[in-house]
Amino acid sequence: MSLRVFSLFLPAVLVLTIMSGCGPKVVDVTDPQAGLEPTGFQTQVHHWPEENSNSWVFLEVDDPWEPMNRNLYEINATLDKYVMLPAATLYKVFIPSVVRSGVKNFIANLNEMPVAFNSVLQGRMEKAAISFSRFLINSTFGLLGVRDLASRNKKLPRQSEDFGQTLGYWGIGSGPYFVMPILGPSNVRDAAGFGGDILILYAEMTMIYQATGIENNRPLDMTDLIIRGINLRANTAFSYHSTGSPFEYEMVRFIYTKKRELDIQR
Amino acid sequence: MRTLCALILLLLLLPSFASAEEQPYPFDDPYRATVLGTPAKLRYQFADPVLPDVRAIRIEGRNVPEVFEYSRDMNFSTALQDHAAPLIFIIAGTGAEHNSGKMLFLTEVFYEAGYHVVALSSPTHMNFVVSASTHGVAGYVPFDVDDLNRVMGWIREELAKECEITGYSLAGYSLGALHAAFLAKRDEETREFGFRKVVMINPPVSLYRSVKRLDSWLTEENLGRTSVHNEIAGFIDRFSDYYLHAEVTDLDDDFLYDMITDINLDQRDFKTLIGAAFRVSSASMIFSSDVCLRAGYLVPPGHYPLRTASPLLGYARQAFDISFEDYLNEFLLPYLRYNDPTATRSGVLERSSLEFIRDWLAETPKVVVAGTRDDVILDAADVRFLETVFGERAHLFEHGGHCGNMMHPAFVRTLKELVQQ
C-alpha cells in the first residue's frame, strides 16, 4: 500500500470510529430497589485516615496538582474509552497482524534515532552503538524497518532511552507528578523530555523527507501522527479502570514514578 | 506386508507423538502454583480464539457517587455463537472482573465447548458494588446471589433478541463457584432459568473459613515479628533490584513470570503475596461499599461529597489494614442487623457456606466440582466435604493450588467434558 493511500485511509478509519459512537453497548434497565438511596446506616467503629501516618510512606509521590491531575486522568480515561481504544480495536480487527507488526517495527525503527541520540547525551556509547546498529540493519536488510531482524541477534536487544531519562541522568529531579492530556502519567521533567524527543523525531523526519525529495510533508506528518497513535494504543496493554480498584490513580502514580526512577538508574 | 508398513509408520510417528506428549502440571507447592498459575508454554491452546465483546447495563436513576462516576455502568462480556446454542453464565472469583485473565480463559473454554458465553464480574468487584448491587454491600452470599440473579435476568432478556438460546448453564471459580451453587439452588425453587449444568471450579466450602486462612498469612503466624508493610516494602525492593539488572524492554507477563521464578521466593513469601493480593481486593470492596452507603467506616462524614478530584491515598492506607474478620464484625454484621434485627452472626456465616445446602448438593446430579486436592483456600475437612458430598461428581486434581492449574490442558479437558451435552 502506498503512503498516499495510507494517508487517506487512516483518518477515514478514525472518523468512522468517532461517528459510530464506540465504547461498550449499554442497555438501560430500571430497578426501583437498586437506586442506592441513603439508608442512614452508620458503623460504630471507624478507620478514618490519620494525619502524618507513616505507614505505606513509599506510596507517597510529590503531587501538589493532584486535584487537576485526577480530573485529567478521568478525561483521559473517557477519551480512551470512546476514541483511542475503539480505534485500536478496529485496527486489530481489520488490519492483518502481518501488516500491524510491520507498522510497529517501522515506527520502532524510526524511534531508534532518538534512543541513540539520548544514549550519546548520557555518554553511554555502547547503548548508542547498539541502537545505531539496529537502525542500520533494520533500515537496510529489514526493508526500511518493516522487519525487526536486529532483535534476532541476542547482543542487540532494543534499548530504551528518552530525553526525560537523559535529564534524570544529569541529575535533574522529576519535579511534581503530572498527568499529561491524552498521554497520561508523567512528571514535569518527563513531560519536558517528551517535548525534547518530539524535536529529535521532527529533525529526523525532516531529514528523511529532504533525502527522499518530498516537498509537501504536512499530510504525511498528520498520517505519521495518527498511525503512531493507533500503533501505540494497540500495543499498550494497560486500560483505564481495569485494576478494579478505586485507588487506581494512586497505584498508577506509584508504579510510574518507581519505574522511571529505576529506568534512569539502569 | 500391510501390517509391516503400518508398524513402520507407527514407529516413525512415535517420536513425534512422544515430543507432543503433554507435560504434567509443573508445581507441587500449592502456594507457588496459586501465584504462578500455568506457565504460558504449558497452557491449553485454543484452535480458534475468540475476542469477547464488552457490554454494559445501566440502572437508570441510580445514585452513583461522583468519585465512582466511571463505574456507573455494570460491565460484562459476551462471546456468542452464530447459531442456536445453550448459554452459560460464568461468575468471577473474589474481586475479579468479567474480563480478567482467568475469566477470558474460561470464556474461551466454554465458547469452544459450543456455548454462548456471558462472563460476569464478582459481586465483590468494585464495578459490581457501585453499579449493580441492591444494598451496595458485598460479601454476604444471599445478597450477592440475588443481585447476580437479577443481572442475569436482564442479560438474558437482551441477548434473546440477538441469538437463539437453547438452554442455560452456570459456572464459576473460587467465590464465583460458591455463588453458582446458591444460584442453582435458588433456581430450583423459582425455575427462572432451569440450569442444566452447574460447574463449580475450586470453590470454597465456607467463605468465612477460606477468607480467615488468607488473612492469617498476613499475621504473626506467617510473618513472625515483621509487619506486612515491611514485607511488602521488601518485595518492592527485591523486584526493583531485579528489574535494574534484567535485560528487558517490555514489562509483560513473561517478565513478571521470570522475575518471580528468578528471585527465589519461598513458601512464606508466596503466602504473603496471596494474602496481600486478597487484601488489595477486599480494600477496594470495603471502600466502595463505605462510599456508596456513606456509612462513615473509612470516610468521615465531613469529607463528603467525594469528587473525582479528591485524593484517596489516606483511605487506601486504612482500608488495606482491615481484615475480613474486622469487616465482618464492624461493617457487614451491623449492616445486616440494621436491616433485620434478628440477624445473628452464626446465621450469617452459615448462609455463606456450602454446608447450608449440603443435602441438596448431595442429591443434585447436575452440580459438579472441578478443583484441586491441595487448594490453599481449603483445609482437610473442606476437601473431605467435597469428596463426600459430591462423590463421583468431584473431579479433584492432586496439584494446582487455588486455580493454578486452570489453564493446564488436563484441567481444560475435564471442564469441557463436564459441560458437553
Residue-level pLDDT at B223: 81
Burial A66-102 (b: 16+ CB within 10 A, else e): beebbebbbebbeebbbbbbbbbbbbbeebeeeebeb
- The distance in angstroms from the start CA to the end CA of chain A is 40
Residue-level pLDDT at B3: 56
pLDDT digits (tens, 9 = 90+) for B57-105: 999 999 999 999 999 999 999 999 999 999 999 999 999 999 999 999 9
For residue A112, give Cα distances in angstroms to A98, A107, A221, B4, B16.
21, 9, 18, 60, 42
pLDDT > 70? residue B388: yes
| A99 within a domain of the structure (yes/no) | no
| A168 within a domain of the structure (yes/no) | yes
Q: Does B264 touch chain A (CB under 8 A)?
A: no
What is the spatial distance between Cα A49 and Cα B64, in angstroms, rounded to a whole number? 23
For residue B149, give Cα distances in angstroms to B154, B187, B348.
9, 9, 20
- Smallest CA-to-CA distance from A44 within B329, B344, B289, B286 is with B329
Residues 16-55 of A with CB under 8 A from B: 24-31, 33-39, 41-50, 53, 55
Residues 151-170 of A with CB under 8 A from B: 157-160
DSSP A53-70: --TTGGG----TTHHHHH
pTM for this prediction = 0.90
What is the spatial distance between Cα B177 and Cα B173, in angstroms, rounded to a whole number? 5
Q: Which of B97, B313, B330 sits opposite A45 (nearest CB)?
A: B330
Q: Does A266 touch chain B (CB under 8 A)?
A: yes
* Burial class (CB within 10 angstroms; exposed 0-12, middle 13-18, buried 19+) of B72: middle
Helix (H, G, I), strand (E, B) or coil at B202: coil
Residues 204-263 of A with CB under 8 A from B: 237, 240-242, 244-247, 249-250, 258-259, 262
Which residue is associated with the grid cell 442475569?
Answer: B152
Tell me whether residues B73 and A25 touch, CB distance under 8 A. no
Q: Does B318 touch chain A (CB under 8 A)?
A: yes
- Smallest CA-to-CA distance from A234 within A83, A108, A91, A78 is with A91
Give the confidence band of A205 by pLDDT, cuts at 50, 70, 90.
confident
Q: Does A1 touch chain B (CB under 8 A)?
A: no
Average pLDDT of the residues in B43-67:
94
What is the spatial distance between Cα B140 and Cα B147, in angstroms, rounded to a whole number? 11
pLDDT above 70 covers a percentage of chain B that reads 94
Tell me whether residues B312 and A250 touch, CB distance under 8 A. yes
For residue B253, give Cα distances in angstroms to A210, B250, B256, B258.
42, 9, 5, 9
What is the spatial distance between Cα B204 and Cα B356, in angstroms, rounded to a whole number? 13
| A2 within a domain of the structure (yes/no) | no
Tell me whether residues A24 and B297 touch, CB distance under 8 A. no
pLDDT > 60? residue B8: no
What are B77's strand-pairing partners?
Answer: B54, B119
Q: Which three cell numbers stand for residue B64?
A: 452513583
Q: Does A71 touch chain B (CB under 8 A)?
A: yes
Q: Which of A24, A41, A70 sits opposite B308 (nearest CB)?
A: A70
Question: Average per-residue pLDDT in chain B?
Answer: 92
Tell me whether residues B67 and A41 touch, CB distance under 8 A. no
Min Cα separation B380/chain A (Å):
32
| A207 within a domain of the structure (yes/no) | no
Q: Which of A53, A93, A245 sits opposite B126 (nearest CB)?
A: A245
| A143 within a domain of the structure (yes/no) | no
Angle at CA A169, nearest 5°, toward A127 and A165? 70
Tell me whether residues A241 and B71 touch, CB distance under 8 A. yes
For residue A77, give Cα distances in angstroms to A48, A85, A181, A235, B156.
29, 10, 10, 17, 29
Min Cα separation A63/chain B (Å):
10
Residue-level pLDDT at B313: 95
pLDDT above 90 covers a percentage of chain B that reads 84
Q: Which three cell numbers stand for residue B144?
A: 450477592
Chain B residues with CB inside 8 Å of A43's CB?
Answer: 295-297, 330-331, 334-335
- Smallest CA-to-CA distance from B62 within B114, B121, B122, B133 is with B133
What is the spatial distance between Cα B65 and Cα B177, in angstroms, rounded to a whole number? 30
What is the spatial distance between Cα A176 and Cα A61, in angstroms, rounded to a whole number? 8
What are B55's strand-pairing partners?
Answer: A25, B76
Total length of chain A: 266
The sign of the torsion formed by the CA atoms of B101, B104, B107, B112 equals: negative
DSSP 8-class letter at A248? H
Tell me whether residues B296 and A46 touch, CB distance under 8 A. yes
Tell me whether residues A24 and B54 touch, CB distance under 8 A. yes
Q: Peptide bond before B305: cis, by omega within 30 degrees of 0?
A: yes
Residue-level pLDDT at A5: 45
Helix (H, G, I), strand (E, B) or coil at A163: helix
Establish, for the pair of chains A and B, how many residue pairs have beta carbons separated by less than 8 Å: 182
Give the residue on A whose Cα is nearest the Cα of B147. A34
Angle at CA B193, nearest 5°, toward B192 and B198? 135
| A123 within a domain of the structure (yes/no) | no
B166 contacts B81 by C-beta, under 8 angstroms: no
Q: Does B295 touch chain A (CB under 8 A)?
A: yes
Min Cα separation B115/chain A (Å):
21
Question: Average per-residue pLDDT in chain A?
Answer: 86
Helix (H, G, I), strand (E, B) or coil at B147: helix
What is the spatial distance between Cα A244 and Cα B143, in angstroms, rounded to a whole number? 20
What is the spatial distance between Cα B78 and Cα B81, in angstroms, rounded to a whole number? 10
Give the residue on B whose Cα is nearest the Cα of A45. B330
Min Cα separation A250/chain B (Å):
7
Domain of residue A177 covers: 62-94+162-199+234-266
A127 contacts A119 by C-beta, under 8 angstroms: yes
Chain B residues with CB inside 8 Å of A262's CB?
Answer: 240, 243-244
Give the residue on A whose Cα is nearest the Cα of B232. A56
Min Cα separation A233/chain B (Å):
15
Average pLDDT of the residues in B203-222:
92
Residue-level pLDDT at A19: 47
Tell me whether residues A74 and B334 touch, CB distance under 8 A. no
Q: Which three cell numbers stand for residue B76?
A: 460484562
pLDDT > 70? residue B112: yes
Residue-level pLDDT at A154: 80
Global ipTM: 0.89
| A90 within a domain of the structure (yes/no) | yes
DSSP 8-class letter at B354? G
What is the spatial distance between Cα B122 and Cα B119, in angstroms, rounded to a whole number? 10
Q: Does A126 touch chain B (CB under 8 A)?
A: no
Chain B residues with CB inside 8 Å of A27's CB?
Answer: 55-58, 154, 158
Residue-level pLDDT at B191: 95
Tell me whether residues B334 and A35 touch, CB distance under 8 A. no
Tell me whether residues B62 and A56 touch, CB distance under 8 A. no
| A193 within a domain of the structure (yes/no) | yes
Tell me whether residues B287 and A247 touch, CB distance under 8 A. yes
What is the DSSP pairing of strand B198-201 with strand B394-397?
unpaired
Tell me whether residues A41 and B244 touch, CB distance under 8 A. no
Tell me whether residues B67 and A244 touch, CB distance under 8 A. no
DSSP 8-class letter at B71? G
pLDDT digits (tens, 9 = 90+) for A182-195: 999 999 999 999 99
What is the DSSP pairing of strand B53-59 with strand A184-187?
unpaired
Overall domain count for chain A:
1
Q: How many CB atoms lie within 10 A of CB A16?
A: 13
pLDDT > 70? residue B365: yes
Tell me whether residues B298 and A242 touch, CB distance under 8 A. no
DSSP 8-class letter at A231? H
Which residue is associated with the grid cell 448438593?
Answer: B361
Give the confidence band of B13 by pLDDT, cuts at 50, 70, 90.
very low
DSSP B15-39: HHHHHHSPPPP---SHHHHHHH-S-
Q: Does B46 touch chain A (CB under 8 A)?
A: no
What is the spatial distance between Cα B315 and Cα B130, in angstroms, rounded to a whole number? 17
DSSP 8-class letter at B322? -
Residue-level pLDDT at A212: 83
Residue-level pLDDT at A121: 93
Q: Which of A58, A67, A242 sits opposite B309 (nearest CB)?
A: A67
Helix (H, G, I), strand (E, B) or coil at B115: coil
B328 contacts B215 by C-beta, under 8 angstroms: no
Q: In what order do the strands lie in the sheet with B85-91?
A: A25-29, B53-59, B74-79, B116-120, B85-91, B165-173, B198-201, B367-372, B394-397
Q: Does B299 touch chain A (CB under 8 A)?
A: yes
Residue-level pLDDT at B281: 94
Min Cα separation B97/chain A (Å):
7
Average pLDDT of the residues in B174-201:
97
- List Cβ neighbours of B142 (8 Å cut-off, separation of 6 or more): B182, B351, B352
Q: What are phi and psi of B371, to 5 degrees?
A: -160, -160
Amino acid identity, residue A49? P
Q: Does B92 touch chain A (CB under 8 A)?
A: no
